């Protein structure tokens, strides 16, 4: 089912700025010449490199999980001024433990941003992903501000490295 009216009042959004994308290209190893094509002027990549996995995108994909990996995301409140969202659903991909920190995001104003982290740990023993999925297991995190209100979904696609 598709509910297009929900797009008019999403509650939370994952804002990714122009600078976020430039830093993403830096993390991919683009050189200064290539960066000028995207930015039209010189762009200095950050001294502390940004991890590719930390692009502030609504979904999280890890193509080679081994051990512990932590991903950061930022959400902006575009709903009610005083809103509290909880990670109401954490559906783990097969063979992966998922931990969300913090599990509650309390906003005091419209436009306010909050950051959360998602940690992924490959479970032992190795559990292969379902066939036909390219080795990926799928899950989701769903942020909710209460029954009947907003439900903001973060899809997860994780492929474990066989150890």
- The span from the first CA to the last CA of the chain, in angstroms, equals 39
56 phi/psi in degrees, rounded to 5: -75, 75
Architecture per CATH, 53-160: Sandwich (2.60)
Enter the pTM of the model: 0.88
| Residue 91 token pair | 């559906």
Would you give per-residue pLDDT tens digits along the chain (163 residues)? 677 877 888 999 999 988 899 999 999 998 878 888 878 788 888 888 889 999 999 999 999 998 899 999 999 999 999 999 999 999 999 889 999 999 999 999 999 999 999 999 998 776 666 676 788 999 999 999 987 789 999 999 999 887 6
């Amino acid at each position: 089912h598709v509910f297009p009216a929900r797009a008019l009042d999403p509650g939370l959004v994952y804002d990714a700025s122009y600078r976020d994308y430039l830093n993403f290209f830096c993390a991919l190893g683009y050189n200064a010449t290539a960066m000028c094509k995207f930015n039209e002027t010189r762009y200095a990549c950050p001294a502390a490199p940004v991890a590719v996995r930390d692009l502030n995108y609504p979904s999280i994909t890890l193509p080679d999980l081994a051990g512990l990996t932590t991903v950061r995301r930022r959400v902006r409140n575009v709903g009610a001024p005083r809103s509290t969202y909880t990670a109401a659903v954490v559906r783990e991909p097969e063979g992966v433990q998922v931990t969300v920190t913090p599990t509650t995001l309390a906003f005091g104003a419209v436009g306010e941003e909050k950051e959360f982290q998602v940690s992924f740990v490959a479970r032992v023993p190795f559990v292969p992903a379902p066939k036909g999925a390219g080795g990926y297991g799928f899950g989701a995190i769903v942020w909710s501000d209460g029954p009947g209100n907003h439900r903001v979904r973060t899809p997860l696609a994780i492929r474990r490295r066989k150890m």
